[in-house]
Structure 1
């Protein structure tokens, strides 16, 4: 199954550690750039459209590559794909740090996003390959913690780097910090990750038409969501149904392709209720979860005048709660199953509601202090959602399909994130024109919108629990 000898527990932990570090680095770049935008705007004289592409271009390229990259790793070996992705991400990070114009930076962000899309499905596939059955709960718990913490801690780390590097060029260190980490990860990955693929996997094909249909479909869905402010007029929303039709064509093509050989993505995975419900929960949760940091950063820096560092520190309670709960959730998910996810979702909704209430009741108090406790509650809930839901969602996915199955799951997360930021952002900016204390009102309304989206994920989890209880035993 692997080259370089058997994988004992020590070597499995080492391989997993390399994968988690790389995943953390690539996922961190989703949120770390948020607090760097004012510094970047002054340094490069970037326009609002340029800044939007710096953020959304990364997410777009990330989402496009996930499933094909997962498929490539399933076929050609996850070590090869992982090393290539990390090396490309490291190079793109260095080029981004040296950017001399907005166009240069946008191009390197697209390259960064594509590289991140290559890396991440290999990490999930690696867990599926090295761990079996219930023992996957712990590594999936650690991966879930990595996902949650990297998103939450990004603004804090970005604030620290900008404070150290200065307002004019501190944003460059947001990218340069990836370079030494990436170089070490490439070296260790080549030594520690399994490199040989099975004969069955090596005979599979990449399915170029499937890649094209999926790429076009995802682009058509995401593009109007990400460019809602820069692309005036309602006609852009016609791309969303066109994208959904293209994705339906992708599903039909993959079903047909499966008659002659293994497809790029086996749509029969959706016959497993655990995969279908888990993917829906992930899409909805990331639709509300990712937007929290987007609106909180805007509110703190632009609305209340806090520095990038303080804005990052304000999110720390969420990150700490998520870290602790993810580690615990990964260990107990096999005992409690989907109800654990439902409890986590309920805690997130309650924490966000309490955060909005705190801003309403004490509007002139220091925001980081009054929001610390409710954000801690929300973070604990998040830790009980991401890792356990990922474990349950992928529990029935066969190892040969692990990369593409995980890639599709993460593609749903990226679509959910883009749609959520579009919806919550629209609520936020529309409320800014309401007059007195508009920033606080905009933050409260958008925070409740995020809670509403996450409530839909809670409904999906409760439906899954109810259906499970109605099934006869045995």
Structure 2
């Protein structure tokens, strides 16, 4: 199989298979991102089918996000060093095998473990997809390819709850959850065979030595630190007493050690998991905070809302999927619009999006209060649509603006760090809001509506914090600009 010249070389010739290879990448990207949203509607089915408790359900969702996020940066570096195709095929094989293992799990602990492995596989695949797009395309074609990838992300978010509902409806409430994992197997096998034929191999002379290409100590300190932070929140109902909160001190020590280690790595010229010099740029550092805190807030909507309508109101999995579809559709549509206008509007677009999300969340709480009972799904549809539209104006535009001042030579690591923060934020947010939600269910004698309202209010508070951070960045940017430039960028 011939290999195309580098996209940056003078004799560059586009690979004739590039669009077919992109199709393979998009299918795999769709599959890994689908598993973020599809599992939410399956949680009651997992609870009844495996006897899972609230902590198990939290880990099924947050564990995938955490493992996904922690692997992103080192997996991207391995792909740089050893070649995208080989790393892509390894990640895809692991994803297919772990998906099958999740489907065959015989207990909640098994499912959580296999779900963590599945998250690792997803984290291996994600940077290879974006890296392959950069390898195979350039110029206007690269913009089109990334646009198609962005659309795939939006579609996977929108389709996930519905597809999960359909699969559970067909498979039954007790065992239907298994099919949300089994469906990955035939798709993954077909994508693997297509990838072998269509994705170009990397020339051996361009490969780099793997040793020193990533920071295992940094990964361990960050991973264990975040795990210690999440553990007392996820286990809040299962571990009585106050001693579990001592783990927060352990988390603080480990995360502090992570920062010191990364600084040391930078001083001696060794590879860092996180290039701390990036955070000297205000827009990037505040953009990362916005991303982490926002993901901690908005990803919990699917988690607690689907539990509320299924466990509290008796919705089927399909009805629950339909109930959250307005949020997903609003996000998918506005994401494409936001990507096209962000360079003209600037940070104001992100602020508008965050404001709409807060308004939509508050309106959803009011809708649940005013229209109790089975009609909640109808009453909350418009507020969730508003929140979804806002969400689409936050994620991609914030990524674009956060990377705007980053040197091209550091763009890859900067984007990887930002996405890692998003996934860690999502995992921690599900742990926090889930703890509030399940504690309220237990303390109120099963008042699911009240638990959802308090849980969603907690999520809205997190989004509000992200809005405040965005305002700080916005006004600091305006102060730095000449009056006429500030007037145009506002």
Q: 2:173 aligns with which of 158, 163, 167?
A: 167
Equivalent residue number for residue 452 of structure 2: 443
SS at match of 2:457: helix
Say whether 1:206 aligns with 2:214: yes
Distance 2:369 2:160 in 1: 27
Q: 1:277 aligns with which of 286, 294, 297?
A: 286
Equivalent residue number for residue 386 of structure 1: 395
SS at match of 1:230: coil
Equivalent residue number for residue 102 of structure 2: 96
Question: Normalising by the residue count of structure 2, what TM-score does the alignment of the two structures yield?
Answer: 0.85
Q: 2:303 aligns with which of 294, 297, 322?
A: 294
Number of residue-to-residue matches in the alignment: 473
Matches within 5 A, 1:45-444: 45-126=51-132, 143-147=149-153, 149-151=155-157, 153-190=159-196, 191-192=198-199, 195-196=202-203, 202=209, 205-258=213-266, 259-364=268-373, 366-397=375-406, 401-432=410-441, 438-444=447-453
RMSD between aligned residues: 3.1
Query: Which deviations, in whole Å up to 9, do the C-alpha atoms of 1:110-156 show, x marking residues without a partner?
Result: 21111112122333444566677999776666555544553454322
Distance 2:450 2:142 in 1: 44
**Structure 1 pair 134–424 and aligned structure 2 pair: CA distance change class (3 A):** farther
Distance 2:139 2:248 in 1: 38
- Superposed displacement of residue 173, structure 1: 0.9
Of stretches 325-334 and 2-11 in structure 1, the one that deviates more from structure 2 is 2-11
SS at match of 2:331: helix
Distance 2:243 2:157 in 1: 32
Query: Which deviations, in whole Å up to 9, do the C-alpha atoms of 1:424-460 show, x marking residues without a partner?
Result: 2333334446769933222223222222211111111
Matches within 5 A, 1:11-30: 14-30=20-36
**Structure 1 pair 135–278 and aligned structure 2 pair: CA distance change class (3 A):** farther
**Structure 1 pair 86–399 and aligned structure 2 pair: CA distance change class (3 A):** farther
Q: 2:167–2:177: 8 Å Cα contact kept in structure 1?
A: yes
**Structure 1 pair 45–471 and aligned structure 2 pair: CA distance change class (3 A):** closer
Question: Normalising by the residue count of structure 1, what TM-score does the alignment of the two structures yield?
Answer: 0.88
Q: 1:142–1:330: 8 Å Cα contact kept in structure 2?
A: no
Structure 2 unaligned regions, length at least 5: 6-11, 486-490
Say whether 1:43 aligns with 2:49: yes
SS at match of 1:265: coil
- Superposed displacement of residue 316, structure 1: 0.9
Distance 1:283 1:114 in 2: 19
Distance 1:229 1:138 in 2: 48
- Superposed displacement of residue 216, structure 1: 2.7
Q: 1:139–1:330: 8 Å Cα contact kept in structure 2?
A: no
Q: 1:214–1:247: 8 Å Cα contact kept in structure 2?
A: yes
**Structure 1 pair 239–401 and aligned structure 2 pair: CA distance change class (3 A):** farther
**Structure 1 pair 230–80 and aligned structure 2 pair: CA distance change class (3 A):** farther
Structure 1 unaligned regions, length at least 5: none
Q: 2:468 aligns with which of 453, 459, 466?
A: 459
**Structure 1 pair 212–226 and aligned structure 2 pair: CA distance change class (3 A):** same
SS at match of 1:100: coil
Of stretches 182-191 and 394-403 in structure 1, the one that deviates more from structure 2 is 394-403
SS at match of 2:393: helix
**Structure 1 pair 319–55 and aligned structure 2 pair: CA distance change class (3 A):** closer
- Superposed displacement of residue 290, structure 1: 0.8
Distance 1:230 1:144 in 2: 39
Q: 1:356–1:444: 8 Å Cα contact kept in structure 2?
A: yes
- Superposed displacement of residue 175, structure 1: 0.5
Equivalent residue number for residue 471 of structure 1: 480
**Structure 1 pair 199–395 and aligned structure 2 pair: CA distance change class (3 A):** farther
**Structure 1 pair 323–125 and aligned structure 2 pair: CA distance change class (3 A):** same
